Chain A
Amino acid sequence: MKYIAEINVMPHKEILDPQGKAVSKSMVNLGLSEIQNVRIGKHITLEIEAPDEQAAHAKVDEACKKLLANLIMESYEFTLRPA
C-alpha cells in the first residue's frame, strides 16, 4: 500500500527565525500591519510503501526524527493519506 505523507517542520518558538521576522516587518509595507509573528518552516511531502498506515506512520516518524527535522531547533508534525 502506498501512502503520501505531508510533513511540516517548524523552528522552535524560542529560536529566533530571522526569515520570519523579516517577512513580518515587510507586512507593514503591504499595508497589512495587523499581521505579526510570521514564522517560516518547511513543508515536505514524500511517498512511502508500507503494509498499513501504522507501519507507514512509524517509518515517517523515524525519517523525521533522524533526518528531516533537527529536534534541537525544530519540531515536526505530519499527516498520512493513501496515495
Chain B
Amino acid sequence: MKFGVVIFPGSNCDHDTIYLLRNTLGQEVVELWHKDHDLQNCDFIILPGGFSYGDYLRSGAIARFSPIMREVISFAENGGYLLGICNGFQILCEAGLLPGALLHNPSRKFICTNSCLKVQATDTIVTAQVDPDRPLRIPVAHGEGSYYASAEVLRELNDNNQVLFRYCDADGNFTEESNPNGSVENIAGICNRGRNIFGMMPHPERAADPLLGNVDGLSIFQSILQAQDTVEG
C-alpha cells in the first residue's frame, strides 16, 4: 500500500507519521506538499497533526482550502482511504468530510497527556485488528479537541456505528473523568458512513515504537496493512 502524508505549513506530526510507516512498518510513503495537486497514486492519505496555518481563525479552517485539498476531497469522495489525526481530524470536519466540529477544550488549556481509548466500530480498515476489549493508551495533545455534534448527528453516528473510539478509564469505563476534553459521549474518533474517511484526536503515531515505551497505537496501522494483505492475498 502506498501512503501519502500531506504537509501543511505548521504540520508537526508529519515526520512522526512518515517515520512510523516507512521505518517501523516498511511501507512506501510520499510527502504531499499542500500546494501540489498530485496525489501520486497513493492508496491511503493521512492528514497529520500540528498547527496548520497557526490554527488561525479556527483549527483546520484555512488548511481545508489548501490547494491539495481539492484532490484529497475528490479522492475521499470516490472511496479513497483518508485518515486525519488531531489537526488532520479538525481539517476533515472543517471540510465537511466528517460530521461535527472540534471546539476549544472547556478548560481552555492545551491538554498533553495519555488518554485511554476503547474501540467501538471494529468493521473498519483502521480498527479491524484492534482488540475491542483492551483499552488503548494513546496520547492526546490539543487545545481544540472537544468533539461536538448536534443531537441529530450523534444519533446518526451511533445508529450507523460510526464512532471509532471513545475515551475511557483504564478499565474501559466511559466516565466523565476519563474524558480529557469534554467531547460529547466521550467521542475520540469517528468515520464517515462510507467507512473510508477516519478522524481521531489522539495520536497513535506517537505510541507505535518500542523505544517510546508504548506501542498501543501500532494495532491501528497494522489493521490497515492487514486489510491490504487480505485484499492482495
Say yes or no for B107: interface residue by CB 8 A criterion. Answer: yes
Instruction: State how many angstroms separate the Cβ of B203 from the closest Cβ of chain A.
Output: 23
Q: Mark A15-30, 1 if CB is under 8 A from B, else 0.
A: 1101100100000000
CB–CB A18/B107 < 8 A: yes
Is B108 a contact partner of A19 (Cβ separation < 8 A)? yes
Stretch from B98-106, B133-141, B155-163, B218-226 at the A interface: B98-106
Q: Which one of A31-39, A52-60, A67-75 contacts B?
A: A67-75
Q: Is the CB of A70 within 8 A of B58?
A: yes
B103 contacts A15, C-beta separation under 8 Å = yes
Asked if B94 is at the interface (CB within 8 A of a chain A CB), the reply is yes
Q: How far is the CA of A72 from the CA of B61 in the complex (A)?
A: 13
For B104, the closest partner residue in chain A by CB is A18
Complex interface: chain B residues within 8 A of A22 (CB):
108
**Is B231 on the interface with A (CB-CB < 8 A)?**
no
Hey, which chain B residues are within 8 Å of A18, CB to CB? 104-108
Taking CB atoms, residues of chain A closer than 8 Å to B101 are 70, 72-73
Minimal Cβ-Cβ distance residue in B for A72: B101
Kindly provide the distance from the CB of A24 to the nearest chain B CB, expressed in whole angstroms: 13
Q: In whole angstroms, what is the CA distance A68 to B106 when docked?
A: 22
The reply on B211 being an interface residue by CB < 8 A is no
Separation of A54 and B61 alpha carbons in the complex (Å): 26
In the complex, A59 Cα to B100 Cα: how many Å?
A: 25
> For the complex, is B57 an interface residue (Cβ under 8 Å from A)?
yes
B108 touches A16 (CB 8 A): no
Residues of B within 8 A of A73 (CB): 101, 103, 148
Number of interface residues of A (CB under 8 A): 11
- Determine the distance from Cα of A15 to Cα of B100 in the docked complex, in whole angstroms: 12
Whether, in the assembled complex, B110 has its beta carbon less than 8 Å from a beta carbon of chain A, the answer is no
Bound-state CA distance A31–B104 (Å) is 28
Q: Are B104 and A70 in contact (CB under 8 A)?
A: no
Inter-chain CA distance A73–B115, complex, in Å, is: 25
Q: B74-108, CB under 8 A of A: which get 1 and which 0?
A: 00000000000000000001100000110111111
- Find the A residue at minimum CB distance from B108: A18
Among A15, A67, A72, A73, chain B packs the most CB atoms within 10 A around the CB of A72
Distance from B200 Cβ to chain A, minimum over Cβ atoms (Å): 18
Within 8 A of A (CB), among B41-66: 57-58, 61-62, 65
Q: What are 17 A-B residue pairs whose CB atoms fall within 8 Å in the complex?
A: A15-B103, A15-B148, A16-B106, A18-B105, A18-B108, A22-B108, A67-B61, A68-B57, A70-B61, A70-B101, A72-B100, A72-B101, A72-B148, A72-B149, A73-B101, A73-B103, A73-B148
Partner-A contacts on B (CB < 8 A): 57-58, 61-62, 65, 93-94, 100-101, 103-108, 148-150, 182
